[in-house]
Amino acid sequence: MRRPRALRALLSCISVTGLAAGLVALGGGGALAAEQAPAHPVRPLPAQVAAPYFEAWTGDSPAALAAASGNKYLTMAFLQTDKPGSCTAYWNGDTTQPISRSTFGADIAAIQARGGNVIPSFGGYGADTTGTELADSCTDVDSIAKVYESLVTTYGITRIDLDVEADSITNAAGIDRRNKAIAQVQRWAASTGRHVQFSYTLPTTNTGLAPSGVALLQNAVDNHARVDVVNIMTFDYWDGATHDMAADTVSAATGLHTQLTALYPESDPARLWHRVGVTEMPGIDDFGPEETFTTQDAVKVERWAAAQGINTLSFWALQRDNGGCVGTAGANSCSGIAQDTWYFSHAFERFTRG
């Protein structure tokens, strides 16, 4: 599964956020500088939430694009280390963008003031292929956990997303450290009265997770790490077939539900559906026209997701939600199909409820 996620090698060539860069970073030992508490009350995410990915390296304002597109919730991609072996996480792997109120803090506060929130996401294809995904890079579980905790205390967020694919999804040591850190954060949250969820965003076939994804979740079970949402990327199947993308979303999610039943046999079927998330790629994905998620597909998937009672509906990415490059596959800034600007945002926004 390949997606055009940010690569560290390109960060020096593109413009990143225009917000003021923070001066205090999270050190390798996990020590945090004191940060002012978030100004707005921390609320759990809705029972069903639409939260498209926002490409955080573009220099765009997440608050401005959220308002323009009508999205109350965003998944912000990505956090990673600047080099393998580090335990310090930065937005986009950029050392001028630490986890700090001075980096994206004003934007996140503005989104929260409008009744929404963001979901910070670690990893992505770029980090997962360069050894800079946090749990691949850092060999100390306590330090990984402290990074996750710092997002909660710095920004007032209530869910952390972990995008694990490519090399990271078969890195057994990184998987084990990550899940141990999740369990540690969950104990910390319980002891401090905080609400923190974790989602795993994973590649999928059109019939469910590959064995590597199931093994990752089994390791979470073994480490007593609660995975609140398993968010499958229902695109880039890369199998040479022509796909009905809406139908394949349903079949992939149904396969995932069967796999979750085996992993969590004590859970009833409805509760397991509520641990399912789906992320689409609007328009033409990286493979090409054979994998095109249309505007009609968006309507079908939203209706199915709402009726089925899944947890999360997302797409990659907010900056692609326009028709500015008809015929182009896998672009970062447009969908490649004829569409109204923010069509997919508007089609999915009604999913948020509860």
Mean pLDDT within 122-133:
98
Whether residue 172 is predicted with pLDDT greater than 80 in this model: the reply is yes
- Would you list the DSSP string of 221-240? HHTT----EEEEE-S---SS
Question: What residue ranges do the domains of the chain occupy?
Answer: 48-349
- Per-residue pLDDT, 38: 58
Predicted confidence (pLDDT) per residue in 189-232, tens digit:
999 999 999 999 999 999 999 999 999 999 999 999 999 999 99
Cis-peptide into 63, omega within 30 deg:
no
Least confident of 9-18, 93-102, 234-243: 9-18
CA distance 307 to 203: 24
Give the three-state DSSP class for 90.
strand
Fold of 48-349: TIM Barrel (3.20.20)
CA distance 130 to 133: 8
For Cα atoms 137, 142, 143, give the angle at the middle one, nearest 5 degrees.
45
Element of type H or E holding 53: strand 53-55
**Chain mean pLDDT for the chain:** 90
- Per-residue pLDDT, 354: 78
CA distance 198 to 12: 31
| pTM, 2 dp | 0.90
Mean pLDDT within 125-144:
98
- Per-residue pLDDT, 302: 98
- Per-residue pLDDT, 13: 33
Mean pLDDT within 38-53:
84
Confidence of residue 42 (pLDDT cuts 50, 70, 90): confident
Helices 62-69, 105-113: axis angle to 10 degrees equals 30
- Per-residue pLDDT, 40: 55
Of residues 103 and 42, more confidence is placed in 103
Confidence of residue 39 (pLDDT cuts 50, 70, 90): low
- Would you list the DSSP string of 237-299? --SS----HHHHHHHHHHHHHHHHHHH-TTS-HHHHHTTEEEEE--EE-SS-TTSEE-HHHHH
Whether residue 8 is predicted with pLDDT greater than 80 in this model: the reply is no
Q: Which residues contact 149 (CB under 8 A, 6 or more apart)?
A: 185, 188
Q: What's the burial of 288, exposed, middle or buried (CB within 10 Å: 0-12/13-18/19+)? A: middle
Whether residue 11 is predicted with pLDDT greater than 50 in this model: the reply is no
Whether residue 253 is predicted with pLDDT greater than 60 in this model: the reply is yes
Amino acid letter for position 322 = N
- Per-residue pLDDT, 19: 29
The Cβ of residue 83 has, within 10 Å, a number of other Cβ atoms equal to 14
For the chain, the residue count is 354
In angstroms, the Cα distances linking 150 to 37, 123, 189 are 11, 17, 12
